[in-house]
Amino acid sequence: MQMKQFDRANRNIVITGCSSGIGLDAAIRLHKLGYRVIATLRNVDDQPVLQQLGIDVVLLDYGQQSSIDSAVTAISELTNKSVYALFNNGAYGQVGALEDLATEDLRAQFETNFFGWHSLTKAVIPWMRQAGEGRIIQCSSVLGIAAYPYRGAYNSSKYALEGYTDTLRVELQGTGIQLSLIEPGPIHSRFRLNALTVFNQNINQTDSPHQQAYATQVQRLLKPITKPSMALPPSAVTDALIHAIEHKRAKIRYRVTRATKIVSVLKRILPDRLFDKFVAKTV
């Protein structure tokens, strides 16, 4: 049930990772619905698209605490510490076998995909407590449900996010702050190409026992997803986000795409070893 007399014009929504894909679609659509959107992104060159639409833009790099602190200050000034919803979305995927991954690269994955989210979330919770209401929506993944080979770094960050959000939801009971996880499967975006860039930078593919598998991974990342049943546009995530923001009782989890729904069911009903065989075949 949608909340009655929901005043979008006086609701400030912070959305991260708005350079492209899910974040960009969410920022534009919520702005068109009448929300005051504060969109964050890492690259200053990506600002004009949003600014031309009248959307407030704040630079934020989850991997740098100084950047997070500066962004929090800017958001505080823009909203007078009044943020109704925070959508943590900005992230990247580190592809590669865990045995080939340097500890500093795993740490970098967590800085951007987990610790940075905690820092921003921690900053806005007191504002929401003061208001007696708020929504914190986390963009998780099907890889926060199931562990896939060569996605170990990203898997680990999303599994951590799932546990973090479940815990925070219990701790914030009675405050008026609701927490939701959106768990997309394949979404049409630049995510795969960005993952390929980081993969090539950080993984020694030629001297690895996984060399043959890596060749397959590169081809997968280069190949666009063409089957409509296998991937959805970013708007599918925005649909879930709008529900999580506007409905009186937001869902705890929004499973977006057919892949996520299938995996979530199989994860519950299959024995672990059989499920391992299933994910190994779908890579």
In a domain, 205, yes or no: no
State the pLDDT at residue 95: 93
State yes or no: pLDDT of 2 exceeds 70. Answer: no
What's the pLDDT tens digit per position in 128-173?
999 999 999 999 999 999 999 999 999 999 999 999 999 999 999 9
Q: Which two tokens stand for residue 85?
A: 């919803």
Q: pTM, whole model, 2 decimals?
A: 0.94
Helix, strand and coil content of the chain, in percent to the nearest 5, comes to: 55, 15, 30
pLDDT at 230: 74
Cα–Cα dist 247/137, whole Å:
13
Q: Is residue 263 part of a domain?
A: no
For 7-21, write each residue's pLDDT tens digit. Answer: 898 899 999 999 999
Look over the chain and give the mean of its residue pLDDT values, rounded to a whole number: 94
Per the structure, the count of domains in the chain is: 1
* 62 and 162 Cβ atoms separated by less than 8 Å: no
Is 26 within a domain? yes
Residue 274 lies in a domain: no
Question: Does residue 254 sit in helix, strand or coil?
Answer: strand
Give the pLDDT band (50/70/90) at residue 221.
confident
With respect to residue 220, please indicate whether it lies within any of the assigned structural domains: no
Q: For residue 48, what is the domain's CATH number? A: 3.40.50.720
pLDDT in tens, 200-211: 999 999 899 999
Q: What's the pLDDT score for residue 254?
A: 98
Instruction: Determine the structural domain holding residue 127 and report its residue range.
Output: 8-92+101-188+232-258
Query: Annotated catalytic residue: which of 35, 150, 154, 159?
Result: 154
Residues 238 and 26 sit within 8 Å (Cβ to Cβ): yes
pLDDT of res. 105: 97
Which residue type occupies 35?
Answer: Y
pLDDT (0 to 100) of residue 1: 53
Active site residue 154: yes
Per-residue confidence (pLDDT) for residue 222, from 0 to 100:
82
pLDDT digit string (tens) for 24-40? 999 999 999 999 999 99
